Amino acid sequence: MADDLGHRGARHAVVIGGSLAGLLAARVLSEHAEKVTVVERDRLPEGPDARPGVPQGRHTHVLIEGGQKALDELLPGFMDELTELGSPQVGMPSDMIQWQNGQWFRRTAATTVIHTGPRAQLEWLVRRRVLADPRIEVVEGAETVGLIGDSARVRGVLLRERGAGKGAGTGTGDGTGTGRETRTLEADLVVDASGRGSHAPDWLAAIGAEAPHEEVIDTGLGYSTRVYRGPVDGTTDALGFNIVPNPRQVYGGVVVPVGGGRHLVTLSGLRDDLPPTDEAGFEEYAKRLPHPLVGEWLARAEPESSVFGFRKTANVRRRYDRPGRRPAGFLATGDALCAFNPIYGQGMAVAAISAVALRRALADPRRTPTTRTVQKALLDASKPAWDISAAADKKMPGATGSAVGASPVDKPVGWYLRRLQERYGGDPLVGAAFRSVLTLTAPMTALFTPAVARAVLFGPVPETPSEPPLRREA
């Protein structure tokens, strides 16, 4: 069978993982395949509830503008539906009190809006829209434990009922077992959207193919999150707070609305000084932030949940795009391809942007889509977010991993970006350009346009507030 991923016909595609990246990939594949099967380890909730397979689900999530545009392209009218469900919208910088690099940001007119509603709510709406397509079905409560095929082509997956492997057959329990309780699910195309814990490298090795090279940058960042009902005391008109860590100040704090008067509060730190998950320790940890703003807010707020921790925050990129002995008919997307430090709020947006890239690659009239060309398109879709998170994280103290080394362009670009960041919080022009890049709506070249470059290279460092700006600028 030719390595042609775009040909229409009686074809079956299997997507491993029913989270955002998997659901959106299934949405695109349904335009080319007769049938798409999503294999999901969890039993999916009927409503907008958290589930175990999304370990970050209880933590702060933001949907940045690049992701909003991609979701509307994939699922027309999606953002209107999300807004109708009550997902809060936070204008940046007008609605956020932000501290970064030793300065408070001016709260000038918003140039972009982020959605800060619960991750489970957004995923439920995507799931409802995608699974309304009769060509897409879900196999729930099933683990993928291997691939069918050889180093030339993948022809399906091995499945096992979740929880049936240990001691029930010859399964190893490590995600690569093939015990007697497994069953096969044949497919013309398999897409791994199983997340940052993907076992696909082991599965590929088991059929004689090469695992991808992994690029890793790990700062050791960890965070803890708790739900609060925010005070209604008129102290500020801001909708949220954001204390951004940097190499000289490694503690972070984020407060964002999630609807119904509730807020998620996330505190972060590095390695040997991580935020605790006990209630008293959580609020005490807020005192490590460079200003008491968040701690004072917590003292007036009412807690509404336990404290949840999350520690696996390394940036990991699997280079399936590079040459190697890899089979046709296998693709990786989402965190299974490129996982980011969640503190930058890129994951949901990149899942959607990658699905748009998949659609365009499969429908490209200029060439027949092959596994290699489509995989490269998916990697390219995640590259802007990787460049942002990797560049920031490799500067953090104690960062480890195979990709922490400096490249030849890091020094001159770093010098320019430091000057830009000195002006980001006080110059609306520079701030708008920087936000357009951070929200994945403009390429990095937006930071080097003539007007921005003049401000960065020749303009003075603008004045910024000396204290937290409690009110928006008129």
Rg (CA), the chain: 23
pLDDT at 398: 95
**Beta bridge mates, 379:** none
CATH class of the region 12-56+125-216+313-393? alpha beta
Say whether 221-310 and 12-56+125-216+313-393 share the same fold.
Answer: no
pLDDT digits (tens, 9 = 90+) for 405-417: 888 888 899 999 9
68, 115 contact by CB (below 8 A): yes
pLDDT at 164: 58
Question: How do strand 262-270 and strand 221-229 relate by DSSP bridges?
Answer: antiparallel
389, 346 contact by CB (below 8 A): yes
221-310 to CATH, choices 3.30.70.2450, 1.10.1370.30, 3.30.450.20, 2.40.160.50: 3.30.70.2450
pLDDT at 406: 81
- Delimit the domains of the chain by residue range: 12-56+125-216+313-393, 221-310, 410-458
Angle between helices 371-393 and 428-438 (to 10 degrees): 140
Interior CA angle at 237 toward 236 and 241, to 5°?
75
Tokens of 150: 């050889």
Tokens of 324: 């190697």
Give the residue ranges of the chain where pLDDT is below 50.
1-2, 7-10, 166-179
Q: Indicate the pTM of the whole model.
A: 0.94
pLDDT digits (tens, 9 = 90+) for 134-181: 999 999 999 999 999 999 999 999 999 987 554 443 343 344 444 458
pLDDT at 55: 65
Q: How far apart are CA 328 and CA 338, in angstroms?
A: 20
Name the residue among 15, 216, 233 with its Cα closest to residue 130.
Answer: 15
pLDDT at 173: 39
